[in-house]
Amino acid sequence: MIKGFRWAGGFMEHFVRLATQVMIPCQEEVLRDPVKSGAVDNFVRAAQVLRGERTPDSGDFTGMVFQDSDVYKWIEAAAYSLAYRPDDLLRKRVEDMVALVAASQERDGYLDTYFTLGNSDKKFTNLMEAHELYCAGHMIEAASALYESLGDDSLLKVAEKNAALLYKVFITEGREGFSGHPEIELALMRLRKSTGKEIYRELARHFIDVRGTDSDFFVKEEARRDWSVWGMDTKDKMYAQYHLPVREQKDAVGHSVRAMYLYTAMAMLAEADGDESLAEACFNLFDSVADRRMYITGGIGSTSKGEAFSADYDLPGDTAYAETCASVGLVFFCSALLKLKKDGRFADVMERALYNTVLSGISADGRSFFYVNPLEVSKEFTGKTPGSMHVKITRQEWFGCACCPPNAARLLSSVSSYAWEEDEGVLYSHLFVSGTVKTDSMSVNSVTDYPFGDSVTYRIERGSGKLAVRLPSFSSEDFSLSCPYELKDGYMYCEVKEGDEILLRLSMEPVMNRADPRVSYAAGRVSVSVGPLVYCIEDADNTDISALCLKPGKLHRSSAEPSSLGLPPAAADLGKVFTVEADGMRLIPSDTDRLYFTRYDEEPCKVTLIPYFLWANRSPGSMKVWIPLL
C-alpha cells in the first residue's frame, strides 16, 4: 500500500497550497455565515433540538435541502489538508465541527438537519428529492477521510452509527428505494475500506443492484407522499439514471454529477466483487462519455436543462453547462476505473478533466468559482440572452447551491492519491507531479515542471520493483524513456532498482485539434492544446476576438511571467506560464452598415492564446476555445 507522498513543489502543488491555505479557510468562513450559507447554523439548531433546548420548526432550516453536505465536504478537504500540512488551529476547528455534527445525530443514528428541524415525520419518504442518502454519503466520505488521513475516528463512529441505521431500514426491514442523487453507494464502499466491514459493501451493492429494476419506483413514491421539495418530474427516469438496471445502461444520460457518482460506485463495487458484468457496464459508460459526450476540456453535461448529458456529439461551446462538480466526479470515475483495469485512456481523461475544467472552476486567488464552465463567452450576449443565462463571464464568490467550491477543495487537497497507485506489486504513475512516494517496497522521487515542461525524472531512492509510467495519448508518437520498458495499454512497465534514474520526455508542441464533423458547433473551427492543457483566446490579449480567425501554420510557445499577462499576484507561484502565438486574420466587414454582405476584408495579425484554466482572471471580456480556421 502507499504509505505516503511528500510534495516537492511544481504546478500541481500550487493548487494544493491554494486549496489548503486559501480555499478551505475562506469556505469555512462562508459556511459559518448565516446569510451566505447558514449550513453550520443548521447543525447548531439541530443539536439544540436534540438537547431539548429548542422546539423543532422547519422554518429554522437555512438553504438547500442538501446544505449539510457542504459542511461534510469541507471536513473532508480539511482532513486532507491536515495530512499535507499540520495546523493546530485548523485541527481544532475540524474537531469542533465534528463535535457539532455528532451532537446533531439522533439517538437511532439518523443525521440530517433538514429533517431534525421540524420535518421528522417525512424521513425516507422522498428519496427522489430530499437528498438524505446523499448527505449521509458525504458525511461518511468525510469520516473515512479523517480516519485514513489522521487516524481520527471521531466522525467514523458517527458514520458507522448512521450506516447501521441505513442497513436496518433498507436491508433488515426491507424498505424499498434508493437515492435520487447517487453518493451513498461510493461512500459505503469507502467506509468498507476504512473499517474492513463487509456489511457496508452489502448495502452499497443493494443500492446499486436495485436501481432501475423498478423504473416506476419514484413515480409510486411521489403518489404516496403529500409533499415535495422541487416538484421534480419523476417520469424523467434518465435524469437520475433509474431508467434501466445499471448493468444494462450503455449511454451516459441525465444529471451529469449524479451519473459520475453512480458510475464511480459501480466501478468500486465491480473491482471489489470481481463482477465482470458490472465492470463491462462501466467501460461502456466511459466510452459513451469520453468518445461522444465530453468537451475537449474534460467538461461534461452539455445542457443547462437538468445539468445533464444530452445526445451524442451535442457539445455547443457557448451554452455549455460543464459543471465543475461533474468534472470532479469524472476524476473520481476514472480513478475507480484504473483500479478495475490499467488503461491509459482512463488516466488521460482524468488528467484532461482535472487540468482544464476543474482548475477553470477556481479563480487564480482561490476565492471565487465557476459553477458552469463554457468554452465560449461573449461580453455582449453571455448571461443576457435566452439560452445563456446560466453562463457567467466572471467567477462568483459563492452560490445558493454551493456544491462546487468544497468539491474542488476536497479533490485538490487529495490530488496526490490520484497521481500514484500501487497495485499487485506495481507502482503506477498516473499523473506527473513532483515529490516522493513511499511504498513497502520502494521509495521514488519524481521531479517535473509538467504540464508546462516536457520531462519527468524518476529517481529510485530505496528498494526495487516494477514502475509503470503512463504514456499520454497526446505524445504517443513522440516520446522517449531512458530505460527498457514494456508498453501495454498506455503504460510503460519498467524494472527498477535503488539508484536508478529514469527520464521521460514528452512532446509539448502546440497542436490544432479538430472535432468529429458531427459536433456541429466546432465545424470549421480548431482548438489549440499543448500536452494536457487546452488553450483559449481572450479579449485581454486580443482586441475583439469575435473577428479573429486562425491561419493554418506552425504554432509557437513562449513563456511569460504571470504578472506580465495581467494575472493576479496569487498566480505568481505558478512560475512561468506558457502562452501560444499563432498567425491569424482579423475579418473586417466590407459593408459595416449591413447585416449580410458578400465579402470580408482581411487584416493579418498575431493571436495570443492562454491556458483555458486561467481565463476570466483579468478584466471581464469575451473568450473562445474553438476558433474559426481560415
Annotated catalytic residue, options 106, 307, 323, 538: 307
- Alpha-carbon gap, residue 255 to 239, rounded angstroms: 5
Distance CA 137, CA 146 (A): 14
Active site residue 401: no
Q: What are the CA-CA distances from residue 556 to residues 108, 272, 451, 479, 553 (Å)?
A: 64, 47, 16, 19, 10
Residue type at position 603: E
DSSP letter (8 states) at residue 58? G
Selection from 134, 139, 39 nearest residue 400 by Cα: 39
Contacts of 479 (CB under 8 A, 6+ apart): 471, 504, 505, 506, 507
Q: How far apart are CA 309 and CA 140, in angstroms?
A: 28
Could you write out the DSSP letters of every residue in 472-526? -GGGTTSEEESS--EEETTEEEEEEETT-EEEEEE----EEE---TT-GGGTTEE
List Cβ neighbours of 310 (8 Å cut-off, separation of 6 or more): 293, 302, 303
Report the distance separating Cα 182 and Cα 97, nearest Å.
25
Q: Is 160 one of the catalytic residues? A: no
User: Which residue among 403, 494, 536, 549 is the active-site one?
Assistant: 403
CA distance 69 to 72: 5
Burial class of 543 by CB neighbour count within 10 A (0 to 12, 13 to 18, 19+):
exposed
Quick one: which H or E segment has residue 354?
none
DSSP string, 373-401: --SEE-TTTTTTSTT-TT--SS-BS--SS
Q: Does residue 156 sit in helix, strand or coil?
A: helix
SS3 of residue 87 by DSSP: coil
617 closest CA partner among 438, 362, 337: 362
- Backbone dihedral region for residue 377 (phi beyond 0: left; psi -120 to 50: alpha; all else: beta): beta
Cell numbers at 273, concatenated: 466483487
> How many Å apart are CA 284 and CA 275, to the nearest integer?
14
Q: If 0-12 CB within 10 Å is exposed, 13-18 middle and 19+ buried, where does residue 4 land?
A: exposed
* Residues tagged active-site: 307, 403
